[in-house]
Amino acid sequence: MKNVLVTGGAGFIGSNFIRYLLDVEKNVQVFNLDALTYAGSLENLKDLPDPLRYTFIKGDITDQSFLDAVLRERQVDTIVHFAAESHVDRSILGPAQFMHTNIIGTFTLLEAARKYWLQENDFPRDQIRFHHISTDEVFGSLAPGEPAWTEETPYAPNSPYAASKASSDHLVRSYGHTYGLPYSLTNCSNNYGPYHFPEKLIPLIILSALDEKALPVYGDGQQIRDWLHVEDHCRAIHLVVTKGANGSSYNIGGENQPANLTIVETICDILDELKPRTNGNPYRELIQFVKDRPGHDRRYAMDSSRIQRELGWSPRHTLKDGLCDTVNWYLSHPEWVLAIRKQQDYQAWLTKNYDTREKTS
């Protein structure tokens, strides 16, 4: 690994991965390709470790000639592909952009890698890697008591977002099988941590609580997710890219299954300790149940035994400690929050998705 192209590196997980990579790999050059859509921001990439080994490139992963030039000019030997539309609610209201970015974008990137690596330069196969970041949502939904998903679980996506990611996963596998493109793939559970765009549940609840706004909880709040701290996720990705077997996929989970309501209540309790309300009342009184979103998956659970067995990875953050660290990060970075809130359609989206949603209690 010498010249690494990270797509979507101005987003939440991608920016955390760039920080991690620059910290642990002292000889790599990192090229961050990002279109800087609403969820990507250069605010996420300030104060990088060893910034002289980092280059930002603004561009669109659906632009074939542009991608061809980037790989050739930067002599890219490793691609870590984060770039994707990722918010289920947005995919329900506007699925077309998800199909364009997640499916066409991944196809275009695969074509660029195939041409440059396998046709133009004939790189040694053990010196190149296309790593694709995917999601647990491709597996669908679990009933209470059902076993956690393994890498062999059949895909059953239930939202336009999940379907677009399932499609991109299949494309990556097909390029490995048909063309011999070296690849690896990871399916992760819900991430949380620093630099998380505040439309997602955990940062939304933290910042809404601090603003004394209602804390929206879909349905009865008993949807179950497996929460993975982004630093644990970045460590897992690095292990898979550098040590994972060619053509393998790995599930990455945080080894917990709280209900969404439990997450919200835990954040409220942490804020009660760290930043009490001026009126002295608990933050839990701000919780507001709202109409559930269409087709909301009930339960996710990941079996991460393969990556633990083969690569020795396990999560280092407990959920409680990770949430405390995350709340503290948002409290100590008001300038980042202010900058992100000024971006494009952030406030308009919150109004569209939450303010008009029917209250149920």
Distance between CA atoms of residues 171 and 173, nearest Å: 5
Distance between CA atoms of residues 103 and 114, nearest Å: 16
User: What one-character DSSP code corresponds to residue 54?
Assistant: E
- Superfamily for domain range 198-224+258-298+318-361: UDP-galactose 4-epimerase, domain 1 (3.90.25.10)
Query: Is the CB of residue 257 less than 8 Å from the CB of residue 224?
Result: yes
pLDDT tier, 91 (very low <50, low <70, confident <90, very high otherwise): confident
Q: What global pTM score does this model have?
A: 0.94
Point out the residues that are catalytic.
136-137, 161
247: Cβ–Cβ under 8 A, 6 or more apart, which residues? 176, 182, 183, 184
Q: What pLDDT digit, counting tens, does each position of 11-35 carry?
A: 999 999 999 999 999 999 999 999 9
Please give the angle made by the CA atoms of 281, 283 and 289, to the nearest 5 degrees: 125
Q: What is the dihedral of CA 109, 114, 120, 125, to 10 degrees?
A: 120
Distance between CA atoms of residues 202 and 204, nearest Å: 5
pLDDT at 321 over 80: yes
CATH number of 3-189+227-255+299-317: 3.40.50.720
Distance between CA atoms of residues 342 and 346, nearest Å: 7
Q: What pLDDT digit, counting tens, does each position of 117-145 carry?
A: 999 987 888 999 999 999 999 999 999 88
Q: Do domains 3-189+227-255+299-317 and 198-224+258-298+318-361 have the same CATH topology?
A: no
Parse the chain into domains and list their residue ranges.
3-189+227-255+299-317, 198-224+258-298+318-361
Report the pLDDT averaged over residues 336-353: 74
